[in-house]
Structure 1
């Protein structure tokens, strides 16, 4: 220990105890169980354990000036107590004030206290902000999942209403006309044939409407994912807009595009530091194009940021995946999928502008 202070000649070392190896080893044997037990406790028991760790520092100080290490550990552990920040800071101030009073009582150099305060508070606030970040991330994930659940519930209710209104009326009309055709068959074959033709026409119309409803069900996954993307990006202060062409997607395409949007939006929230983001789905001559872009920092992108998964999903559907990223313009992802015969645009895209509160 004298070597740390230049062989005892440094003025900083004057009056600092550094001997008593046996007492120091004994304190370590007491400290280690307290340290590991502390993270399994909560409430008053955790507070008592923190105070015991600090007490080790107080008891060892007359024998070893480096006992402030225990006080620093105690302050760091106080950050994990389930209480308000002010209550935890009050406990920290109590422990540090007790340490200062003991230093003054023993006549030790005050610089020991100064070093202890700087390190202890740095560790305390670092741990505090890490805990707060984890808590907010967990709350955001719960909110994200809740948005998906509510969107799925609303979509199921809409599908139920649509099918009830569609099939209830259509099946009643088919039953009525079929019954009428049966009664007219022997008296007026021409009228009966006309009723049968009406039944055929109504059935075909119903089939077309059911197909349209199924298209809405398949697109619900993408709509749900976009609603979740809005929630996620708003929480990060990113303004978000999207435009979706009214096209029919196969189940595989809709699932793949939903997962691509989820992965890309997560990357924007975690890595891009963007202020704006946009998702756009358009129908070209022979292809569907999904474009996801942001104005973030761009630059070199590592395959580990979900890009490998996106590429694999696109390749599985015989699609193409392109990425353009630069630090000046941000990042743009283009996904091109084959346009199946029924995937024709019904009308112009619907554009939604969703601005996050600044």
Structure 2
């Protein structure tokens, strides 16, 4: 009990320390999974700027000027992650000017050209990126020749800057293709939703159109007969009542069919949603059809599990296996993310109730990711080719 409390206290302290750091992080960088935390790593190149100071005295005015240059550069560096190519080009020009101003004083200022070339690789279109990188490298060569810098300095600015810039150019292209793919997937989903709405409207028209038209004619006939032949009018009203009841039942059956989920279709939707967020998803479903109630409930369990991945776990890979074993059915969903502290609720209770309603067992574990397991005993025992329960002879 003491260890548990101590662990909770340590976690609370860690969260308290992390909260202001996360707040600063959100101000410096946009919430983009493709950007992540790597921009902080690239600041390691600034170590080149300070090498020369270990071998000579540094006057106060140079410290002040260098501090101002670094402050302006840091602001431009993080600002470049928030703006488009046109404004980012201004950040590149500003960084290049800082390099031109500082390098005559401190040859380590060549590092600013590396950042300028690296940022140039993120510009769009590709021709603008290549042209800007070439311009930065030409500036490095021209200033190095003018100042007579040693070979290793201008090689650092050109080779490393060009290499990182070309790498960024490649990954920017990949990122643009991924964004286009996500947009295409969203368009496909929107078109699918539109077609589904059109299908529902056609179905409802087919179901109700004839019935309502016939009821309207019967109502008119009953109104004309109500004085001349009350018994016949009453018979017509009974027919209208039966037709209304039948039409209502047809609508209820149709709506029930729309609401009923399918494990196969839900798995395909999950694959589309997860891949669009760069999460791999593999799934294995049984070849034989499942009973309709089991199929629908497991589909909703899968939907809730995928929602948890997209909102909380930051997983990179998920897997679903649904395998029969005898007359039992085993459902296992897993991911490699960080599930955090699992609490009953937020969908877990709903999953548990769905499985319990089918007479199954439900288990959740968080060891090396989230694992959701369910076993449905005799889930296939009443299966027939038509998907209905067998009727005992």
In the TM superposition, what whole-angstrom CA distance separates every residue of 1:141-179 from its partner, at most 9, and x where no partner exists?
544443443333222222221122112222334455577
The structural deviation recorded for 1:303 is 2.1
Q: Of 254, 258, 274, which residue of structure 2 is paired with 1:213?
A: 254
Q: Of 69, 78, 102, which residue of structure 1 is paired with 2:111?
A: 69
Checking the alignment, whether the CA contact within 8 Å between 2:52 and 2:107 is kept in structure 1 is no
Q: Of 347, 350, 369, which residue of structure 2 is paired with 1:313?
A: 350
Q: Distance in 2 between matches of 1:335 and 1:45?
A: 53
CA distance change for structure 1 residues 29 and 91 in 2, over 3 Å: closer, same or farther? same
Checking the alignment, whether the CA contact within 8 Å between 1:54 and 1:95 is kept in structure 2 is yes
Task: Give 1:238-317 correspondences, 5 Å limit.
Answer: 245=290, 247=292, 258-263=303-308, 271-272=316-317, 291=331, 302-304=338-340, 309=346, 311-315=348-352, 317=354
CA distance change for structure 1 residues 24 and 124 in 2, over 3 Å: closer, same or farther? farther
Q: Distance in 2 between matches of 1:58 and 1:170?
A: 82
User: Is residue 114 from structure 1 mapped to residue 146 from structure 2 by the alignment?
Assistant: no
Residue 94 of structure 1 corresponds to 135
**TM-score, normalised to structure 2's length?**
0.57
The structural deviation recorded for 1:213 is 0.3
Q: Distance in 2 between matches of 1:41 and 1:301?
A: 31
What secondary structure does 2:149 align onto?
coil
User: Is residue 59 from structure 1 mapped to residue 95 from structure 2 by the alignment?
Assistant: no
Checking the alignment, whether the CA contact within 8 Å between 2:104 and 2:147 is kept in structure 1 is yes
Residue 68 of structure 2 corresponds to 29
Q: Distance in 1 between matches of 2:155 and 2:140?
A: 11
Checking the alignment, whether the CA contact within 8 Å between 1:148 and 1:228 is kept in structure 2 is no
Checking the alignment, whether the CA contact within 8 Å between 1:292 and 1:332 is kept in structure 2 is yes
In the TM superposition, what whole-angstrom CA distance separates every residue of 1:252-290 from its partner, at most 9, and x where no partner exists?
997665333554689999522x7xx668699x99x9x79
User: Is residue 47 from structure 1 mapped to residue 89 from structure 2 by the alignment?
Assistant: yes
**TM-score, normalised to structure 1's length?**
0.61
Q: Structure 2: which 5+ runs fail to align?
A: 1-47, 378-382, 389-393
The structural deviation recorded for 1:88 is 1.4
Bigger RCO (CA 8 Å, 6+ sep): 1
Checking the alignment, whether the CA contact within 8 Å between 1:147 and 1:231 is kept in structure 2 is no
- Over the aligned positions, Cα root-mean-square deviation in angstroms equals 5.6
What secondary structure does 2:316 align onto?
helix
Checking the alignment, whether the CA contact within 8 Å between 2:313 and 2:340 is kept in structure 1 is no
Residue 26 of structure 2 corresponds to none
In the TM superposition, what whole-angstrom CA distance separates every residue of 1:116-138 from its partner, at most 9, and x where no partner exists?
34543454356556655655555
CA distance change for structure 1 residues 292 and 163 in 2, over 3 Å: closer, same or farther? farther
Larger helix share, 1 or 2: 2
Q: Distance in 1 between matches of 2:154 and 2:216?
A: 91
The structural deviation recorded for 1:332 is 7.8
CA distance change for structure 1 residues 337 and 212 in 2, over 3 Å: closer, same or farther? farther
The structural deviation recorded for 1:21 is 5.4
Q: Distance in 2 between matches of 1:245 and 1:132?
A: 44
The structural deviation recorded for 1:19 is 5.1
More off after superposition, 238-247 vs 139-148:
238-247
CA distance change for structure 1 residues 5 and 72 in 2, over 3 Å: closer, same or farther? closer
Checking the alignment, whether the CA contact within 8 Å between 1:57 and 1:68 is kept in structure 2 is yes
State the number of aligned residues: 322
Q: Structure 1: which 5+ runs fail to align?
A: 9-16, 339-343, 350-358
